[in-house]
Structures are given as C-alpha cells and as structure tokens.
Chain A
C-alpha cells in the first residue's frame, strides 16, 4: 500500500443528504416512485438539486409532515396511508414505491418498515413497498443510493446460476457499452443492479460475481456478501487505468486470460489515449483540491493524477471505507492527503492557503470560490454525466479541463460579483 496520509475532520459540513440520490434513481427505474416522508425542506431540497424545475409530473414527491402528524404517531401512520392511497390512485402505473425516511421522520421514529409491511399486504400483486432512509443525520448524498439498493436486496430471489452483476447506477449508454465488452470477453450472463425496471430484479446467489461500478455502496456490498455473492475486488471504472484493471479483475473471476482482455480493449485504450491528450495538455501540472461530496473523490484523484498528471493537494471524502477503496488507495501517489469528513470553514482556509488551480466542490461553494479567482468544478455533475469506462475517459477529463480552458479565455480577474 502506498504511503497515503489519512486525516479525519469534524465540524460544519457543506454536502447534500442522501435524499438527493432520488434525482438519478427515479430516472434509472421509470416504474418506481420515491415518496419522501419528511418536511417542506426535503421537498425543496430535491426540487432544487434536481435543477430547480420539473417538466412533467415527477416520479418523486414528499409527504410533508404537519403539526398534527407530530402530535401522535398513530395519526401519522394513518395519514401516510391516505397519502399513499391517493398517490397510487393517481399513478396506477407505479410498480415499486420507495418510502424514504428523512431527518424529521427518523427523529420522531416514524416506523416506515412497519408501514411498508402493511401496505405490501394491502397492495399485494399491484405495488411493492420498500423503505430506506435518505436522512441527512445518517447519509451523505450518494449514500442514498446505497440505502435504496440495500432495501431491494431482500426482494431478490436466489439463484446459483453463474453471472456477472454490475452494481451501482450507470448511464444507460455506458451500461450498454460495458455489456458489449463483457460479451466480447466471453461473459454472456450479465445483469445490472439497479435494473432499468424495478420489477426485474436480478436473482443472486453463490455464483453471482459482483463488480461495483460506484464506490459508495458499502451497505449494499455487505448484504450481497451475506447472500453468498462474491465481490470482485477492483478499482472503479473511471479513466483508462481504472477501467482496464476493472475489466481485468472481472475477467480473472471468470477465468478469462489477461491476453484476451488486452486483445479486446487495447484498441479502445489507444483511441482513448489519443482523445485524452488534449485535455492532459491543459491539466498537466495543475494543482487540484477535492472537497468531500460524492465519495467519487478518491477515484477521481487517482485518474486526474495518474492519467492527467495533475498534482493533488487534498482529497476530501465524506466517508471512507478503506476496505472497499483499498485497490484505489494503492494506486494513489505517495503522500496523498486524504481527509475524511469536513469542517468547511477550516477546509476553505486550506483551499485559500494552497492556492489551487482547480477545486472540485458543491454548488453552494462554486461561485463564491470563482469570485475569489479560484476555478471550480461542481461535484454533482459527476453523478449525472456518463463518465465511466474507457470510452468516456476523455469526457471525464473534459469536465475538469473545461473550467481551466475557460479561465484562460476570460482573463479578467477583478470582477464585481453582486
């Protein structure tokens, strides 16, 4: 293992809560509805994170708790029943309804598991109810997806059929590319979790080999292991290096030779390197500071250093599972400073002191840093853009080179920003 410096920090944080992941989960499974049981804050958060406006009736909503719901939990359960009935009458096409816990529902100890159980009996054969928590007191941003996937595992039937299971939400086009490459490698039985239809859950068992596509799925991994699945240890498929090692690890699990893998993917690698060059020219030698948000930070740092030759000042992450991340950490350069958790004020002090060329941060911080003359990239874009795989390596680099390129074009440094 490389000599990486681990630090922990606590204090005020500037991150999204797990509810935010509904924004991509509801698009992945168009037959599912996400009902947050929470406050007006929860509703406002999701609509703000989802890009402020919606263009049609959305497949997510909030059952907003009111004063009378707080007075008696029995009434709250009845009220939730009524809201669910209304919702299902309005949206009869919904096949799976996620009841999503929030900070207030957790604090008043609203038992969504029991509610889901009752509803499952009542709507048997029509709608399935699943519950998980996306609350900010327990989850950060992408951990919401971890909770949602973990909640689906008990619904997955058992099967000892040998298969490759890709776990973690991917853009559909990226998923299709991956499946094609795996088929070319000779792996024919490939499924994805979450699936594109919430009712088409893959069957799992002791011959299921799990390959993670996202680094934020600790709880899901634990439960898949309990169901007998084998977890393939690999870095994550970001960039050429990560994706190559990811394919190699999968191939090894299926006893496919390295030679075969190289034969299939080297044309892709050559093409990707060519595409990456122009971005590398801009990124090379530039100093990078990553603030914590998506848990993708470590993989991004590895890609931006090893393939784009950026220098790493600090790699923040909201949460660090050293076991899940060990392959990634091994690839980081010596003396990389990883900071788990956040004290946003102290971290911003370090940003200013270190004078980075680029900061990866949340949307609340981006414009204020730009106003101080520091280029930024919003981290939320990483979870909405197709960035995985060899073919996307240049696009991924492009997300970081674009703000720097723009900075070179627009040279004025003393702007009035209000």
Chain B
C-alpha cells in the first residue's frame, strides 16, 4: 500500500484511452464501474477536445456483482459495436473489473465479430499510465500486423532507391495528453520533408487501423517518445527488420544528431550539414552577450524520462547552465535518467512522490526549475522561477499558438520559455548596480511574481532559525548587513554555505569578513 496525495501518472487504462482517443475508427469497451468516466474530462477539458473519447464504460454496480457481470459486458460490447461501427475494437478492464475476472477480451472474441479485437490486459495494481499507453499501442500494432509477419521479407532500409521514390518513415509515439505532441509532429514532418524524406504514417495521433496496417510501407520508424512507442518499434524491428531512431530531437544538438541518425539509417547523404545550426535562433541567442548572465545558472530538472534527459543536455551544453538536480517519475526510464545524471555528477531522483521532489528542490537551491505543473507550484512556494517541460498535462500545456518542443522551432520555444522566467541579463545587471539606492526595494522583481525571498523574510526566518540552531551560531550586525547585499536569489545558498563554513572552522560569530572568507573557501 502506497500513500499517495497526488500522482504524476494515472492508471494504465487511462494510457489505453490515450491511444484510443488519439486514433480514428477505434472503440474501447472498458469494463469499469461508474465514476471511471472521470477520465473523459482529461480529453474534453484539458485537451479541449470536441469529441468524446471513443470509450464505452460497462458501468457495473454492486447489485450486478452477485449476478452476471459477464452478460453486462457482452451487452455493452454489442451495443458499442452496433452504434460506433469501429474497424478495430479494444476491450479491457479498469482496476475494479480486474478483480472480478470476467475476461471481457475473451468474451468479445467469442461474439463472432469479423473486426480485429485487441484484448488489453493492463495490470492496474502494478503499472501506470505511460506503461498502459505503450502496451496498448504495442498490442494494437501486433494484432493488426501479425498476419503479415511470415509473408513479409525483412525491410531493407535502402529499398527506396530501387523503388525510385523518396524514403518513407513512420513517426511513432505522439498521442493525446502527451507534452506538445500536436506541434512536435508538424515540426518533425517539416524537418524530414526538407531533407527529402516523406512521412508514411503518424501514429497513434490521427491514425486509423488501416494506417497501422500500412506501417510496413515505410523503411524505418522514428521513435519520437520512447515511453509510448519503444515497445512497438522494437516489435517492428524484430519482425519486419525495421530500424528505428534512438535520438529524441529536442534541442539543437539532439536535432542535428537525429537528422544524422535518420540519414545514416536510410543511407541518404546529408547535404546541408553546415546549414543546420542556423535553422534555429537558439545558438546565436545563447551566444549573444546578453546571455552571459545565464552562465552557471543553477537548474533543477524533473519530468518524464524523455523530456528530463533532453532538458539536462540542453541546459548544460546549449545554455551553459549548471544542472544541480535531475529526476523522473518514469520508472521505465530510470536507467537512462541515472546514466545522464551520472554524467552530470548529480544523483538521479526517481520517485512518484512530489513532496520528495520538493525537498530535493529545496536542498539543491536552484535558480531555475524545469519541471511538471506540480514543480511549478512547488517552485512558486519556494520563490524560484519555473518553466514547465513535461506532462502531466494541464490546460496551459495545450497553448493555442504553435509551440513545439522538438526541432528548430522547438529550440526557439525552449529558449524563450526557459529564459523569460529568469530576469533578462541587462536587467539583472541593473538591479545589481542600483540595489543600494533607497528607491530600490527587494522583491519588486516583477518577473518572478513572488515575495517569498525578500530581505525581511530572510532575516525573520534567520532569527527563528538562529534561536533554534543547536550550533548556536550568531550573525553579527555586519554579517547581517552584508548578507542583505547578496542578490536575493542566491542569498539562501550563501547563508547556508557561510554557516557551514563557520561550523567547519569553529567560528561562533559571523561577520562580514566571515562571509567573504566562506565565499573564497567555496569558490
């Protein structure tokens, strides 16, 4: 039993709903009690969808449990098929139905329909949403393509030459309730098209069962979100020899590496290599003098595996930040996140508990947080600017404007979204210059919209801490005065470091000089 106050991911059948709702001509009969229909609002409210998710809930009640719930399942399947006429039927259970073991998938298969039926077994008491989405997409792909396995030769990624056409790829993984998927797909298709590569199928977003059966018309697969598509890509590789990409095109370096990888797999010469770096404004904006102040900014990153890993790379290599924390709630991607964290010399935080993330954030004393909507709230409480980089989805993460994370435009969006919450470089310089003027009041930095770290608060909380401090360290007038001169966003860190130094050296009173000694010691 796990005490959960808030969860980053829903149950696995919500993952299945994401796949079903992303696609056309599919219907999902979900054996579930009333109440589970809440999941519809994730699509109709958060994504503002104008259609209901294609889901029929069997809505069993306590009084049905003594009777024949299997008959109820069959009745709902029959009605759903007659009404919605899907080309493929998904059948599964939510957590409660799993316990009563009606095996709705087997029931559906015995009803004599001629459409393909996918029996979804998604263990609700051990797995979560992304796993459910991945498994559903995999089972669907397998069901719709398994008959073609033996009859097909392995796909030669170079066959486009013999066929006398442009190479074709599939883009796999984008789905509803995925972070900026709608726009990432457009951006990636545009980039591929510029390189002379055609998109065969995008799935699951916007695809029909017929499209899934056409997947093998492409030479290779683009695995755009590993959380959702890796299992399917791997099955297509094993059974049809289709290679798939590993690079996630978020950030300039990754986008270029991604383009390279695609070209290598297709044996397509890359002719515009030197142009690529200038496709986005990020490299120049990052190089321009105003961005000098970004150097070494302490950034704390938490999100799904794909976006957290990409953010760490961009932060360090493309914006010159210092990554002081990295973590994910995607247990399936823990290994990769740990490897990335190790390269950055930080310990990876793998957890589904947002309070643990908040604690880690507090300890890391970052100047910028890149996280989910929950980290945005935590950061707000701590008075730290934050930009959202990952699901779980919030209505704000589905902006009206074109706003991808991937490719060239994605890099532009990322530069703006991450840098604007910080102060502009020149502005920061000016604040530093004028902060001793009497007109200047701490906490007026409008970008940050918070007052949590103004001087009074820090000193008040200092006093409280001081009295409780078992080490009994005292801040003298001069030490205190000097501390107020430190920019507010690093003041907490400076204070902790100075006290640490004082304890280390057995200094009972902290003066202005101690502050400078500590500064030199830790630099």
Kindly state the separation between the CA atoms of A140 and B36 in the bound complex, as whole angstroms.
11
- CB of B377 within 8 Å of the partner chain: yes
Q: Is the CB of B62 within 8 A of A370?
A: no
Kindly state the separation between the CA atoms of A379 and B79 in the bound complex, as whole angstroms.
27
The residue of chain A having its C-beta at the shortest distance from the C-beta of B61 within the complex is A137
Q: Is the CB of A48 within 8 A of B41?
A: yes
Encoded as 1 (CB less than 8 Å from any A CB) or 0, chain B from 99 to 140 comes to 110000000000000000000000111101000000000000
Q: Is the CB of A365 within 8 A of B3?
A: no
Kindly state the separation between the CA atoms of A17 and B33 in the bound complex, as whole angstroms.
9
Q: Is the CB of B51 within 8 A of A371?
A: yes
The residue of chain A having its C-beta at the shortest distance from the C-beta of B176 within the complex is A418
- CB of B2 within 8 Å of the partner chain: yes
- Chain B residues contacting A55 (CB-CB under 8 Å) are 377
Q: Is the CB of B57 within 8 A of A13?
A: yes
Q: Is the CB of A41 within 8 A of B50?
A: no
Encoded as 1 (CB less than 8 Å from any A CB) or 0, chain B from 477 to 519 comes to 0000000000000000000000000000000000000000000
- Chain A residues contacting B50 (CB-CB under 8 Å) are 367-368, 370-371, 415, 417-418
Q: Is the CB of A137 within 8 A of B1?
A: no
- Chain B residues contacting A69 (CB-CB under 8 Å) are 1, 125
- CB of B247 within 8 Å of the partner chain: no
- Chain A residues contacting B11 (CB-CB under 8 Å) are 39-41, 44
- Chain B residues contacting A153 (CB-CB under 8 Å) are none
Q: Is the CB of B34 within 8 A of A70?
A: no
Interface bracket on B: 35 or more
Q: Whole-angstrom distance from the CB of A147 to the nearest CB of chain B?
A: 13
- Chain A residues contacting B395 (CB-CB under 8 Å) are 52
- CB of A49 within 8 Å of the partner chain: yes
Q: Is the CB of B51 within 8 A of A368?
A: yes
Most chain B CB within 10 A, of A13, A54, A366, is at A13
Query: Which of B3, B46, B56, B65 makes the CB contact (< 8 A) with A107?
Result: B65
Q: Is the CB of B2 within 8 A of A364?
A: no
Q: Whole-angstrom distance from the CB of A44 to the nearest CB of chain B?
A: 4
Q: Is the CB of B394 within 8 A of A53?
A: yes
- Chain B residues contacting A70 (CB-CB under 8 Å) are 99, 125
- CB of A57 within 8 Å of the partner chain: yes
Kindly state the separation between the CA atoms of A107 and B65 in the bound complex, as whole angstroms.
9
- CB of A258 within 8 Å of the partner chain: no
- CB of A155 within 8 Å of the partner chain: no
Kindly state the separation between the CA atoms of A418 and B51 in the bound complex, as whole angstroms.
8
Query: Which of A20, A43, A104, A371 makes the CB contact (< 8 A) with B96?
Result: A104
- CB of A331 within 8 Å of the partner chain: no
- Chain A residues contacting B521 (CB-CB under 8 Å) are none
- CB of B270 within 8 Å of the partner chain: no
- CB of A83 within 8 Å of the partner chain: yes
- CB of B10 within 8 Å of the partner chain: yes
- Chain B residues contacting A45 (CB-CB under 8 Å) are 35-36, 38
Q: Is the CB of A363 within 8 A of B41?
A: yes
Kindly state the separation between the CA atoms of A44 and B56 in the bound complex, as whole angstroms.
19
Kindly state the separation between the CA atoms of A106 and B9 in the bound complex, as whole angstroms.
24
Which of these binds chain B: A58-66, A279-287, A392-400? A58-66
Question: In chain A, residues 94-145, which have Cβ atoms closer than 8 Å to a Cβ of chain B?
Answer: 103-104, 106-108, 135-138, 140
Q: Is the CB of A48 within 8 A of B42?
A: yes
Which of these binds chain B: A74-82, A183-191, A265-273? A74-82
Kindly state the separation between the CA atoms of A56 and B61 in the bound complex, as whole angstroms.
34
- Chain A residues contacting B355 (CB-CB under 8 Å) are 57
- Chain A residues contacting B7 (CB-CB under 8 Å) are 40, 43-44, 47
- Chain B residues contacting A79 (CB-CB under 8 Å) are 1
Q: Is the CB of B3 within 8 A of A86?
A: yes
Q: Is the CB of A47 within 8 A of B6?
A: yes
- CB of B351 within 8 Å of the partner chain: no
- CB of A16 within 8 Å of the partner chain: yes
Most chain A CB within 10 A, of B14, B35, B48, is at B35
- CB of A382 within 8 Å of the partner chain: no
Q: Is the CB of B96 within 8 A of A54?
A: no
Interface size on A, residues (CB 8 A): 67
Kindly state the separation between the CA atoms of A417 and B49 in the bound complex, as whole angstroms.
6
Answer whether A65 and B33 are a contact pair too, CB < 8 Å, given A47-B6, A53-B374, A368-B52. Answer: no
- Chain B residues contacting A136 (CB-CB under 8 Å) are 33-36, 96
Question: In chain B, residues 153-191, which have Cβ atoms closer than 8 Å to a Cβ of chain A?
Answer: none
Q: Is the CB of B60 within 8 A of A137?
A: yes
Query: Which of A54, A104, A367, A370 makes the CB contact (< 8 A) with B95?
Result: A104
Q: Whole-angstrom distance from the CB of A319 to the nearest CB of chain B?
A: 11
Q: Whole-angstrom distance from the CB of B69 to the nearest CB of chain A?
A: 10
- CB of A353 within 8 Å of the partner chain: no
Q: Is the CB of B10 within 8 A of A44?
A: yes
Answer whether A107 and B99 are a contact pair too, CB < 8 Å, given A57-B5, A65-B1, A137-B65. Answer: yes
- CB of A334 within 8 Å of the partner chain: no
Q: Is the CB of B33 within 8 A of A103?
A: yes
- CB of A323 within 8 Å of the partner chain: no
- Chain B residues contacting A58 (CB-CB under 8 Å) are 5-6
Q: Is the CB of B42 within 8 A of A43?
A: no
The residue of chain A having its C-beta at the shortest distance from the C-beta of B100 within the complex is A107
- Chain A residues contacting B52 (CB-CB under 8 Å) are 364-365, 368
- Chain A residues contacting B79 (CB-CB under 8 Å) are 11, 345
- Chain A residues contacting B523 (CB-CB under 8 Å) are none
Q: Is the CB of B128 within 8 A of A40?
A: yes
Query: Which of B13, B38, B58, B374 makes the CB contact (< 8 A) with A12?
Result: B58
Kindly state the separation between the CA atoms of A67 and B1 in the bound complex, as whole angstroms.
9
Answer whether A80 and B1 are a contact pair too, CB < 8 Å, given A12-B56, A12-B59, A363-B44. Answer: yes
Q: Is the CB of A41 within 8 A of B36?
A: yes
Q: Is the CB of A365 within 8 A of B35?
A: no
Answer whether A40 and B4 are a contact pair too, CB < 8 Å, given A137-B65, A367-B45, A368-B49. Answer: yes
A-B pairs, top 3 by smallest CB distance, nearest first, are A417-B50, A17-B35, A364-B40
Can you report 11 residue pairs joining A to B where beta carbons are below 8 Å apart? A14-B40, A16-B37, A38-B95, A43-B7, A48-B41, A52-B394, A52-B395, A60-B5, A67-B123, A106-B62, A368-B49
9 further A-B contacts with Cβ under 8 Å, apart from A64-B3, A67-B125, A370-B50, are A17-B34, A41-B11, A44-B10, A58-B6, A62-B5, A69-B125, A137-B65, A367-B49, A418-B49
CB within 8 Å of A: which residues of B? 1-7, 9-11, 13-14, 33-42, 44-46, 48-52, 56-62, 65, 76, 79, 83, 94-96, 99-100, 123-126, 128, 355, 373-374, 377, 381, 394-395
